[in-house]
Amino acid sequence: MDKEKLKTMIYKENFYKMQKFKYYILFTCFFVLSLTIFGQNLKIVNTKDLIGISKKYGLNSALEKSGVYAYYLDVGRRPVIFDIDDETTRELIKHIKNNKPSKTIEAFLVAYALCVQNPEMATMLYDYFDREKDELINYNPVPERNLSLEMSQNSLFALIENPLVNTDSLLFKYYELWNQKIPFYLQYYQQGLEEKDRAKQETLMKAYEQCNYNCYILQRFLKQMESPLYDQEKMEYHQKNLVSYLRNGFAISKKEVKCSGYENNNIFKTIKLSKNYNFIGDINFKKELKWKELIRGYNKTHCGGGFLMFNGEMGYLSLSCYYDALAAHGVSYKLELKGNKLIIYRISSWVS
């Protein structure tokens, strides 16, 4: 093939790529613009779709779609789906065994374990954390600013409150795993001792301190279980290597997960719709004026819009708006549809 033909072919190929890219940009701009113009920056999720999403894309995707995130472990937050679709919740719990462990899945499982009496829960928890342990064996990330290695106390509470005869052995295996990682992070800790920059110093030292933290609380939980695997000397050793403000000891406590659901006695308002609807998902939100009044102010460009999850006649609505780091507000509601009436119960509101 001569050079001229080759140049022509390359030119045509690049030309078509550029055209496709232009169409993509135009489509994206139109899509984003249409969301703003028509006020449709409201994410709507039907709980019945979550099973299919989990099967096709994985449980992690389904949970994030339903508003469950890893940080729930740290705050003891209850997944909303517990309150509006028990059947789908139980089905998603069954999917855990076929999915790779993640902090999002852990948050979902632990919240369920702390709230629901289930004779199979002990085995489910053991199997999950046994698989997670195997995932951690070769997990040795280099320290960085947002890296966190801390184990969740709520996860450990879920395990010891739903024990099998070998649950303490599993905790001790975790202890050994984290203890083996300490020498790797000691080198970074020692670098941190010489570092003058405060932020860099904290980053370099944190992983070592968190490995010791995990070893320490695992020994504390073994003690609480009255396990023969508990070792007072080991616990005291790791306590000396915690971050300075924890070295004098701290309480082990469970972040309480609200297990009773949202009370249906705090009615915020009742919206009269233009016609009867069978399900919340059938409502024509673009045409219902009373609905528009409810979300007014939350569908502006600087706001996060909203999240609506529904199951038949029951639903959950979260609205938020962020002006800047220090000026934000939001509100969440539980919804109940009865014909042409949408009953709205206030769950919570916040301002920062």
pLDDT digit string, tens, across residues 36-81: 333 446 789 999 999 999 999 999 999 999 988 887 777 777 788 8
Query: Over 192-258, what HEC string results?
Result: HHHCCCHHHHHHHHHHHHHHHHHHHHHHHHHHHCCCCCCCHHHHHHHHHCCCHHHCCCCCCCCCCCC
| pLDDT attached to residue 253 | 87
- Under 8 Å CB-to-CB from 270, ≥6 apart: which residues? 341, 342, 343, 344
More confident residue, 19 or 330: 330
Q: Taking a C-beta distance cutoff of 8 angstroms, is the pair 240, 247 a contact?
A: yes
Q: Dihedral through CA 64, CA 68, CA 74, CA 76, nearest 10?
A: -170
H-helix segments, the chain:
3-37, 50-57, 59-65, 72-75, 81-84, 86-94, 103-115, 121-136, 153-161, 167-194, 198-224, 232-240, 289-295
CATH 3.30.160 positions along the chain are: 262-351
Q: Phi-psi category of 175—alpha, beta or left, where left has phi over 0 and alpha has psi -120 to 50?
A: alpha
Fold classified for 262-351 = Double Stranded RNA Binding Domain (3.30.160)
- Given a cut of 70, whether residue 295 has pLDDT beyond it is yes
CA dist 213 and 210 (Å) reads 5
User: Which two tokens mark 66?
Assistant: 């339903």
pLDDT band at 179 (very low <50, low <70, confident <90, very high): very high
- Given a cut of 50, whether residue 115 has pLDDT beyond it is yes
CA neighbor of 319 nearest in space, from 344, 338, 341, 286: 344
